[in-house]
Amino acid sequence: MYYWVSANSSDFAGTPPQRRSGHSAVNIGKSKVVVFGGLVDKKFLSDIAVYDIEAKQWFQPECTGSGSDEHVGPSPRAFHVAVSIDCHMFIFGGRFGSQRLGDFWVLDTDIWQWSELSGFGDLPSPRDFAAASAVGNRKIVMYGGWDGKKWLSDVYVLDTISLEWMELSVSGTLPQPRCGHTATMVEKRLLVYGGRGGGGPIMGDLWALKGLIEEENEAPGWTQLKLPGQAPSPRCGHTVTSGGHYLLMFGGHGTGGWLSRYDIYYNDCIILDRVSAQWKRLSIGSEPPPARAYHSMSVVGPRYLLIGGFDGKTTYGDPWWLVPQEDPIANRLTAAPPRNIAESKEFAFNDDFQPQLKESQTEKFPFSELQRRLQISVSSSSLEIVNEFEDKELLEVASRLAGENVSTNSLAILTIRKHWRNSEPNMVKLKELGPLLRDYQRLIYRHYLERNASVQKPGFGEHVLHQFYHVKNATQLRMDDIPKLLAEYKQLPV
């Protein structure tokens, strides 16, 4: 079990970074986290904020070095790439206003000195929303991005000693060009997930690139990976952070719900288990931070530190911790019962990541056995169930569908429920999704949680998964969720 906990002044000294998105945050060994740049209220930033892990203190170093217009270091920017090797942070590209940048910088964090680097060889074009990762202790690999006119699919390798760039020639099947993806070096392979691709679709594919390690003598090549488990939804602007045998994905944004023109922002945690090679959901025992994209997530010992991000309207400046349940910071929340109860095998991860709940803990929950049988992983008290006669949106949709021939709310509700039971997924209108989801949750609660656990209705054996019971609102639904939601709804007794 892990907990999200909002950071406060008792967690560290100094001033954490101001709110921002599109910034970078890199770990310098296990000693510090360096945050650079970003965007807030249409203003591009170039400041540095450093978290000293051992001293538990934020500070702003006085940097020296080269620059232009009396400005030390890189010009303000966001959506750049940043990679650390030893005590150095390398910065490439990004965006300033509508301009894509192609300059290349290094910060020596031992003496806090910036240097602009003049690379040679196959120089990459200016771009933003690319992704990069260190290859060993000397090289950097960068993939994709957006140059202002087209999505990119090129792969560049930089030797940080010789400063030579080389465009990697990759044969065979290639991923679609993309930007806003992640690229994470895992042993000998670069793993790329998601992003926004040609024509604008947001993708949920996972690719592995081999041929980056000279000693292996492998020809460079891409392989698309299709792993079992609970795969993340398509997204871009997310983060992937390495933690031991796991890669932790958080946040990002994807295509909105059914026929929606708007993007939906995520605050879920998905794990890629490198040992078993499958996707898993991280069991969270508290409310997560607001959904967001273009944030940063850094490893600080056994903890993860979330900084900044953007949700389409708000730029965040609230730092959050993601900590294991034995962490002292989690004690702020453990007075309240966990929000998610991971009891089924589907949710049971390796003990290194999620210790199983003890029997004494599960006894506190009167619906725990029923939850296990229905594979519902939330307490019934965590979801507000509104009576249908108090659901104004449901009554409005029902009355509009029923027309003037129906004079009472009861008949109107019967009409809308009959309509949904006879509908195909493409017949469900956007305005109906919220009322449909709440009525689905209402019927589950009424017939399976409010009554005695031993009362079972036909068609609902222990293998049935009410997978949308815990969804907070319709904006969290994806297009391919609608047929599943409607199919489950049709099986519920009225």
Domains in the chain: ranges and CATH: 2-331 (2.120.10.80), 392-490 (no CATH)
Q: Across residues 83-101, what is the average pLDDT?
A: 96
Assess whether pLDDT exceeds 80 at residue 361: no
At 158, is the pLDDT very low, low, confident or very high (cuts 50, 70, 90)?
A: very high
Torsion of CA 471, 477, 481, 485, to 10 degrees: 50
What mean pLDDT is predicted for residues 338-363? 32
> What's the DSSP call for residue 286?
S
- Highest mean pLDDT among 194-208, 284-298, 390-404 belongs to 284-298
Q: What is the mean pLDDT of residues 254-260?
A: 63
pLDDT exceeds cutoff 80 at 350: no
Say how far apart CA 370 and CA 378 lie, in whole Å: 11
The pLDDT of residue 69 is above 90:
no
Are 38 and 47 in contact by the 8 Å Cβ rule? The answer is no
Q: Which residue has the higher pLDDT, 58 or 377?
A: 58
Res. 251: pLDDT tops 90? yes
Q: For 242-268, what is the mean pLDDT?
A: 82
- Bigger pLDDT: 185 vs 445: 185
Q: Rounded mean pLDDT of 146-172?
A: 94
**How large is the average pLDDT for residues 140-157?**
95
pLDDT at 257: 54
Q: From CA 352, how far away is CA 25, in angstroms rounded?
A: 26
**What percentage of the chain reaches a pLDDT higher than 70?**
83
Beta-bridge partner residues of 10? none
Highest average pLDDT, of 54-68, 297-311, 340-354, 432-446, comes from 297-311
Tokens for 435?
Answer: 């009322």
Beta strands (DSSP E) in 87-168 are: 88-96, 99-108, 113-116, 120-121, 131-135, 139-146, 151-159, 164-167
pLDDT category, 55, cuts 50, 70, 90? very high
Which one is predicted more confidently, 243 or 105? 105
Average confidence score pLDDT of the chain = 83
- Spatial CB neighbours of 387, under 8 Å, sequence gap ≥ 6: 442
What SS3 class is residue 448? helix
pLDDT at position 468 is 82
Q: Is the pLDDT of residue 237 over 90?
A: yes
pLDDT band at 203 (very low <50, low <70, confident <90, very high): very high
Greatest mean pLDDT among 100-104, 242-246, 376-380, 406-410 lies in 100-104
Please, which pLDDT band fits residue 404 given cuts at 50, 70 and 90?
Answer: low
pTM exceeding the 0.75 threshold for the entire prediction: no
Structure confidence at residue 260 (pLDDT): 53
- Say yes or no to pLDDT of 355 above 60: no
Q: Assign 44 a pLDDT band (cuts: 50, 70, 90).
A: very high
Contact 135, 213 (CB under 8 A): yes
